Chain A
């Protein structure tokens, strides 16, 4: 299995509080991704990173920011959590953006915003 860990694995928070989720990889892959999984939507890309300090937006980036100060760590921050951000969040990594290159997924973080 690809070495990807996510922390925390579960979190309950209140509306308006900041939340940071961490993804850590031991594979030295260049690309890292954050997705959210919601019923009926599959997984949707929030942000991705193509190197240290290099990030870009995905299709559902509003209300989220990311940072990557080291190759192995990719942080997702909800500056002021809302109930619509209740979801399961997955981190993924890949070696390249080539179409045939697989993405490997972490175990997920279940976030509940009350």
Chain B
């Protein structure tokens, strides 16, 4: 079945550092890929998505490219801020949404 693997957390960075959170997937068919973000005490919000191979999703300075050849959808941001501290979930969707385990990110000033 479909599955998603994210890099283990927690991840701690200093403000303005470069961020990469790795995500790889196993899937049949033509799934869409998503990154969701969960701020403390809140539900999940869609951060970005990509619906086919080579698509790049972007939002709030974050980017991720749907790489079919490496079955990856890594999340990147060039310069993180304290306000980016949250838990990030990579997810894959055929008919159902399948989540990775989440990566907790903490940004220190």
Stretch at the interface among A62-70, A71-79, A101-109: A101-109
A42–B96 CB distance below 8 A:
no
A99–B94 CB distance below 8 A:
yes
Q: Does B43 sit at the interface, judged by CB under 8 A?
A: yes
In the bound assembly, the distance between CA atoms of A40 and B102 in angstroms comes to: 7
By a CB distance below 8 angstroms, the chain A residues around B32 are 99-100
B51–A100 CB distance below 8 A:
yes
Which of B42, B45, B95 touches A99 (beta carbons < 8 Å)? B95
In the bound assembly, the distance between CA atoms of A108 and B39 in angstroms comes to: 12
Q: A102-B49, A107-B43, A108-B43 are in contact. Are A42 and B89 (CB under 8 A)?
A: yes
Q: A45-B96, A99-B31, A102-B49 are in contact. Are A40 and B101 (CB under 8 A)?
A: yes
Closest A residue by C-beta to B103 = A42
Q: A97-B95, A100-B51 are in contact. Are A43 and B89 (CB under 8 A)?
A: yes
B97–A45 CB distance below 8 A:
yes
Known contacts A43-B44, A58-B96, A90-B43; 11 additional CB pairs below 8 A are: A33-B97, A40-B101, A42-B91, A42-B99, A43-B89, A97-B96, A99-B31, A100-B32, A102-B46, A105-B45, A108-B43
The 8 A-B pairs with the shortest beta carbon distances in the complex, nearest first, are A42-B99, A105-B43, A100-B51, A105-B44, A99-B32, A42-B101, A43-B99, A100-B32
9 residue pairs of the A-B complex, CB under 8 angstroms, read A42-B4, A42-B99, A43-B89, A44-B99, A45-B97, A97-B96, A99-B93, A100-B49, A100-B93
